Structure 1
Amino acid sequence: MHKFIRKPYYEQFYKSLHDSAENNYKKAIAALNLLQTNVEDIMCGLEIKELEKQLSVIHVSGTKGKGSTCAFCESILRNYGYKTGFFSSPHLVTVRERIRINGCPINREKFSSYFWKIYKQLEQCQDVENDYFKMPSYFMFLTIMALKVFKEENVDVAIIEVGIGGEYDYTNLFSNTAVTGISSLGYDHVKLLGNTIEEITWHKAGIMKPGSITITSEHQPKTSLNILQKRAIEKKCSLYVSTPMNTNDALGNRIELGIKGPAQWHNASLAVQLINAWLNPQDYRTESFEMKSTPSVQLSKEILNGLRTCCWPGRTQIFKFSSELTYYLDGAHTLESIQYCVSWFQENIPHHSLKSKKVLVFNMTGSRNVEDLIKLFIPCNFDFVFFCTNRIQLQDIFSDNQNLKINEPEEYNRIIEYRNYWLKLNKYFNSSNTKVFRNVSEAHMVINNLSVNQQLHVLVTGSLHLVGAFLNLLDPELKLSCSLV
């Protein structure tokens, strides 16, 4: 057992439970939560070769937009009639979102069945130390499980989103990847990937494979393109830069994207090219490893429908909770993505009502310069600014959203620091209008009370985990956000 898992959680897991399907699922979630590790442990480079056979894979890395790019890819392929598998992270409401078949999270019964089959098989191979089993980490376990599910469910294609980096990411198991994509690059996870854009790009390009086709977004720093070129030659991989997609179809009608926001055009363009390369690899095969522009793609009805019907909750999502309360949810967590988020929020809030108030709810995880990010929200002129942990409410080892590796007092002290940053940057801001909350339930209750006599437009951002915690309260089955289950 990992050293940071406290014994009470372990004992709670092994308390007597009835063997109903529901409790079997809860026990699976508890066992999975006990595999949570610090982020550094994701990077050990473990390979599980036997699980990569027979899978046709589209593998996507990047800093910004890799999840949206994968979502567009999956939606388009499904519109073409292919049976799809989709592995992504993190989840928002239920861990089952990470493993999808034809766009839908696998159901509880299947999740439990696959989980325990793999868990027990691995358990038999482990050494026992201090009465605890040494198992793969949370993310690694889910990666193994996803590949097992995709093989057993006979998917035609698996779309795999990288967790962190690429070169040493647990998803980088494949030696015969058909197509790889690299979305927009920037500074993120610098403790793991390096302090320079060159180092970060090197890691992200690690998913390139000999003989595969790699397509990168055109929205890249010049230095990143130079590193990608060097890595393509090193890996003997065909490298293309995605050409921007037209915003109008052949009839002149505006193309509709299911995921809103200006940055999504870059992700949609990349997705269209990745799908075209998977469908028509002969158009991209070349003996040269020099960087080239992608060929033009005719936007078929399947592509247009796939782009329009693509659903990716928690990214530039507007959720009308009541007539007086509207949430704007976006898991932006990098400098550029927060800049996009601010623009999107300002474009979508109404400006005509004197009773309308603006609220920011913010948290940030990881090793980022939070002060630089927080100041980007100043132009929005928020009336209230709240800082909140990512916890929904009290700790519960059987919850899909329990994070056992985060120390609650440390997390709370961190958001107090964020509040201090905000007040330092905004010397004239009314300090009584900024608060810190130990959990999302408390924050939502205060926001709901504030909306009794006035319209509130609430931007929740900075962390996908924070967005997911709010969706757990607002739309626990994601039925209003997206037809996922």
Structure 2
Amino acid sequence: MGSRRRRVLQLLLLQRLGRAPSLRAPRAAGDPWRARRHFSARLAPAPRMEYQDAIRTLNTLQTNASYLEQVKRERGGDPEAQLAAMEGFLERSGLKVKDLDQLNIIHVTGTKGKGSACAFTESILRNYGLKTGFYSSPHLVQVRERIRINGVPISKELFSKYFWKVYNRLEETKHADHAAMPAYFRFLTIMMFHVFLQEKVDLAILEVGIGGAYDCTNIIRKPVVCGVSSLGIDHTSILGDTIEKIAWQKGGIFKPGVPAFTVPQPERPLDVLRERAEKSLSPLYQCPDLNAYEEDDKPLQLGLAGDHQRSNAALALQLSRLWLRRHGYLDLEELKDPWPNPELSVKRPPPLAPAFKLDNAMVQGLRETVWLGRNQVLHHGPVTWYIDGAHTTTSIQACVRWFLQATLNEGKPADGSEVRVLLFNVTGDRDTAALLKLLLPCHFDYAVFCPNYTEVSTVANADQQNFNVTLENVLTRCLQNQSHWNRLLEAKAGQDPWLSPSAELEGVAGWLKQAPLRGPSLFTPPAVHPLLNANSLVFPCISHALQWISQGRDPHFQLSDSRGAHPHPMASRGAVSLREASTIRVLVTGSLHLVGGVLKLLDPSLSQ
């Protein structure tokens, strides 16, 4: 959609809603990005226009939606040809693939938990006094979060410096035989290599973007060690529609002679990983459970909540230990090659890597790991926010277990007036109905749906702009999500789950043309079941959703005028008013982009 039409839709939306109120929130003390170590990093000076110009220019290189479409088109091709294209971009930027060998890389893939495993690994190695580089995706609030040194996102000045250096080199080397510029994620990957090499990190931890074999991070030739976190079904249109096909893609990061570790996996995908490892002559080992490292039944303290983080921590211990051994920090024996003669090997699972005694740096690294937006709890007066970027079936299941346990530990208020709210959005080709069904055991009183836009009133923050989806598209998706939720509740209550498709999706454009609202900034399609709509709502942006949920009761999210006091909609029998409840528990999940927008509003210091 052209920028003019997009702006027209935004204006129509504003006419419908009225201008979004300005927000006033106290600045949080300290730096939430700062890793809890003795390393110091001076806060960046006031942002300069250079940074915002860099982000806006970066956004013109396509956002993740376009990159996914590109990967879909290329998926059936030769991975070597695709990586050759990446190599061409790298050389145009001034680097050769062999230069990347200097980075002492730890390469990690997986469906869920790979970012957490990388965060644990980075924290452990930083506790040995090493200068760490960490590349991850997506970002929550600012794009520079993707490139970290010593656990802290690079400064706006450093981001601007390296962005323009790489961008200008690529612009200067354009000619007929080369594509003009790499796409968004490829560009950031190339830029990351420049940052880590020139800032002279001791090691670089790279989280795979999508899959493995086709991912642009897989241009590297000689990582020190590779890791595979838990596998599951995600990005099926890109990676394949079975767990075996997905495992094949993930195993594409294995390299000859480079040891690899995996957490326990189901039998079939584990067989695929083993076969990929054997063919690539990569020694593959399974990680023992974390309890193998715990002495006297004393559990290790992890900086990340949730039982599912234990396997990520166990993977991080093996990755860290091997890296330290290879670089002379630990005097340990080499692991035995699991298949010295692959031609004579029989089908058997990869051997179990040995557990070992943890030193203080490892214990402290696990305890001090920080990874925002994953199993994160914010206590804001009577409102408690439970924030987790889960977006696959298995990660939503883990999120539900964590949420139920966390709320159980908190206990019910003395007067029993507790309200539970779900704030949800989902993107891509994921099965929304399946994900929402998994959330039913949480017994939410209200379900709120909104796009990943922080605000709709003005030009969005450049770090969170997406030029590949329209306002109409994302609002329609929210209405679909609401309809799925309503049907699930109706089915659960034994009612007729059928809703007219025309009622479900009665054009968002038609909704935009209605007369302006007089009251709360929410909307519901007019033909959907009225009772259920009292308990499920759709908002045009995250800000409006938070205003309604908090009802002015979150001391960290205060409004500048009375427009924040949204009237409470009619509730189903037995529900407690948000304005009367002594405790409001809000689970935010379904999308890391949604989580990032929520954190941006609840903690403005993350934008500095």
TM score, norm. by length of structure 1: 0.91
- Find the residue that maps to 2:130 and give its secondary structure: coil
Which stretch has the larger CA shift, 96-105 or 288-297?
288-297
- 2:153 pairs, out of 105, 117, 128, with 105
Report deviation, 1:246: 1.7
- Find the residue that maps to 1:89 and give its secondary structure: coil
Q: Distance in 2 between matches of 1:244 and 1:264?
A: 11
Report deviation, 1:103: 0.2
Report deviation, 1:125: 1.4
CA root-mean-square deviation = 2.2
Q: Which digits, 9 at most, give the CA deviation of each residue in 1:253-287, with x for residues without a partner?
A: 33110010010001000110111111224522526
**Structure 1 residue 422 corresponds to structure 2 residue 451:** no
Larger radius of gyration: 2
**Structure 1 residue 461 corresponds to structure 2 residue 589:** yes
CA contact (8 A) 1:52 1:173 kept: no
Aligned to 2:450: 388
Report deviation, 1:292: 1.4
Aligned residue type for 2:53: K
Percent identity between matched residues is 44
Q: Distance in 2 between matches of 1:247 and 1:352?
A: 35
Aligned residue type for 1:325: V
- 1:32 pairs, out of 58, 80, 101, with 58
Aligned residue type for 1:422: W
Describe how 1:46-65 pairs up with structure 2 within 5 A. 46-47=86-87, 48=90, 49-50=96-97, 51-65=99-113
Report deviation, 1:250: 3.2
CA contact (8 A) 2:133 2:147 kept: yes
Aligned residue type for 1:363: N
- Find the residue that maps to 1:246 and give its secondary structure: helix
Aligned to 1:168: 214
**Structure 1 residue 78 corresponds to structure 2 residue 206:** no
CA contact (8 A) 2:423 2:589 kept: yes
**Residue segments in structure 2 that go unaligned for 5+ positions in a row:** 7-45, 75-81, 91-95, 327-332, 494-530, 552-567, 569-577
**Structure 1 residue 431 corresponds to structure 2 residue 554:** no
Q: Distance in 1 between matches of 2:532 and 2:599?
A: 29
Q: Distance in 2 between matches of 1:330 and 1:417?
A: 22
Describe how 1:21-420 pairs up with structure 2 within 5 A. 22-37=48-63, 38=66, 39-42=68-71, 44-45=82-83, 46-47=86-87, 48=90, 49-50=96-97, 51-127=99-175, 134-218=180-264, 220-246=265-291, 249-250=294-295, 252-281=297-326, 283-284=334-335, 286=337, 288=340, 291-320=350-379, 322-349=380-407, 350-353=410-413, 354-394=416-456, 396=459, 399-420=462-483
**Residue segments in structure 1 that go unaligned for 5+ positions in a row:** 10-19, 480-484
Q: Distance in 1 between matches of 2:292 and 2:471?
A: 46
Report deviation, 1:407: 1.7
Q: Which digits, 9 at most, give the CA deviation of each residue in 1:338-363, with x for residues without a partner?
A: 11111111111244222110000111
CA change 1:277–1:419 in 2 (3 A) is same
Q: Distance in 2 between matches of 1:323 and 1:398?
A: 28
CA change 1:397–1:444 in 2 (3 A) is closer
Q: Distance in 1 between matches of 2:110 and 2:220?
A: 17
Which stretch has the larger CA shift, 239-248 or 137-146?
239-248
CA change 1:444–1:330 in 2 (3 A) is same
Aligned residue type for 2:412: H
Q: Distance in 2 between matches of 1:8 and 1:25?
A: 27
Report deviation, 1:128: 8.6
**Stretches of 4+ moved more than 6 A in 1?**
none
Q: Which digits, 9 at most, give the CA deviation of each residue in 1:341-400, with x for residues without a partner?
A: 111111112442221100001111111111111111111110000111111013636521
Aligned to 1:477: 605
Q: Distance in 1 between matches of 2:218 and 2:187?
A: 14
CA change 1:231–1:437 in 2 (3 A) is same
Aligned residue type for 1:35: L
Aligned residue type for 2:247: T
Report deviation, 1:327: 0.6
Which stretch has the larger CA shift, 352-361 or 248-257?
248-257
Q: Distance in 2 between matches of 1:249 and 1:237?
A: 29
Aligned to 1:12: none
CA change 1:21–1:422 in 2 (3 A) is closer
CA contact (8 A) 1:41 1:137 kept: no
- Find the residue that maps to 1:460 and give its secondary structure: strand
